[in-house]
Amino acid sequence: MEDGELATRPATIGELRQRLRSMGEPWTVPARFSDDDPLPDLPPQLVDPGHVKGLRAVNTREEFEAILREAPPVNPFLAARWRELGAAVPGAAEGTPEGAGTPAPGQDVPEWGVG
């Protein structure tokens, strides 16, 4: 990529593809776009700095972990992950995370196994 090119916008998909080639093709443009397609001329807009306004802002690990201690996971897989990390997880889990949801041989089609 030429110096200063980064500060300009590619005018077309073909120009975008050319830039990607010059960068070693870190990513691809879907084939449905033709080289002649223009990139839309969208007005720039800054991120609203208040886009998470109203939510509890957490800035330190100590603060975050104190909050998490008050809200342990109910998901048994996550509870197992927390225990792996050394966190105490109160509450109940019916069955074992390792076994739960793994139907016995010849039983149900697992939900993650169907495309």
Q: Taking the complex as a whole, how short is the minimal distance between the CB of residue 45 and another protein, in angstroms? A: 5
Vertex 103: Cα angle to 99 and 106 (nearest 5):
140
The DSSP call for residue 95 is S
Q: Taking the complex as a whole, how short is the minimal distance between the CB of residue 39 and another protein, in angstroms? A: 6
What's the rounded Cα separation, in Å, for the pair 17 and 5?
A: 14
Q: Which is nearer to another protein, 36 or 106 (CB)?
A: 106
Q: Taking the complex as a whole, how short is the minimal distance between the CB of residue 36 and another protein, in angstroms? A: 14
Q: Which is nearer to another protein, 28 or 36 (CB)?
A: 28
Q: Which class for 24: exposed (0-12), middle (13-18), buried (19 or more C-beta within 10 A)?
A: exposed
Q: Which is nearer to another protein, 52 or 88 (CB)?
A: 52
